[in-house]
Amino acid sequence: MSFRTKLLLIFTLTVTLAVGLVAAMVSASMRRAFERVDAERTSALVAQFEREFARQGEEVTRRVEGVARADSVLRMAVDLNRPRPDYSLYVETARDVAAAQRLDFLDFIASDGTIVSSAEWPARFGYREEWVTQAADWPTQAAFLKREELPGGVALALMAVRPVRAGEGRAGERDFYIAGGLRLDREFLASLVLPAGMRVILYRNFQPNFSAEELIPASANVSSVEQGGNSDKLAPLVERVRRERAEFSQTVTWSRDPLSAEA
């Protein structure tokens, strides 16, 4: 092989390597840029969802505060502050008020935690809800998530609590509590105003280990969850959140099609 031929081969190889390196650098740069834009978009969508969820919590609080300010409830508070009050007079009250305020859950609870009236489970009249009487700044407490026991099972609720004081805070007067909220189910998720390109799947953390049955999509047409075949793809993310009690993001590819990926 002549010197000229060797020189030409070396030159060709050098140019090829240079082009390959440039192409690889451009590809890596474009991939990083795409990942950055995708991460920023995901963060923006999550922030918008959180604002919408907070708005729903504020709406729950507003409805519960409306119940607490109602004249009939204030009269009930006065009556329950009397010696040996008759709680049975109000057994059905919560159900009627809940319907008027469009609340799925509504309990009237005496100062000692005794349930005076329950909209979602009237038979719990006379039972105790001692968590309400524990030290908490209920007048300013925002809505929160709570596990609710029902006759037919368990539900996840977005709840708010407001105390009602009979009279003007004189000695001997006791607080009476209003606990109300909405059920977090498919209907609730469907009511959220979400940006284009986003969907919500709720996982109810009721089981000791990941359970596909606790996944609730906003639409019944979410085949990847409803069919159950691919729902386990969410298990690592759910388990990590449960274990570390923090927010995490992850890209889930539902099938071999790259277009099925969601972050």
* pLDDT (tens digit per residue) in 175-223: 889 999 999 988 888 888 777 777 788 888 888 888 888 888 877 655 5
Q: What is the CA radius of gyration of the chain?
A: 29
| String of DSSP letters for 245-258 | -S-----EE-SSSG
Q: What is the pLDDT of residue 254?
A: 67
Q: Domain ranges in the chain?
A: 60-185, 199-262
For residues 120-127, average pLDDT = 94
What value does the mean pLDDT of the chain take?
80
Inter-residue contact 231 to 217 (CB < 8 Å): no
CA angle 135, 139, 144 (to 5 degrees): 75
Residue 219: in which H helix or E strand, if any? none
Beta bridge partners of 253: 261
Distance CA 185, CA 205 (A): 13
Inter-residue contact 189 to 200 (CB < 8 Å): yes
CATH class of 60-185: alpha beta
Q: Which backbone phi and psi does 88 adopt, to 5 degrees? A: -65, -20
The count of other CB atoms within 10 Å of the CB of residue 147 is: 12
Tell me the per-residue pLDDT of 130-187, one tens digit each, with 9 for 90 and over.
899 887 899 999 999 999 999 989 999 999 999 998 655 554 457 889 999 999 988 8
Structure-token match 């006759």, residue found = 151
Inter-residue contact 182 to 60 (CB < 8 Å): yes
CA dihedral 8, 13, 16, 18 (to 10 degrees): -110
Work out the widest C-alpha separation in the chain, in whole angstroms: 115
Q: What is the pLDDT of residue 186?
A: 87
Phi-psi region of 38 (alpha: psi -120 to 50; beta: other; left: phi over 0): alpha
Q: What is the pLDDT of residue 171?
A: 44
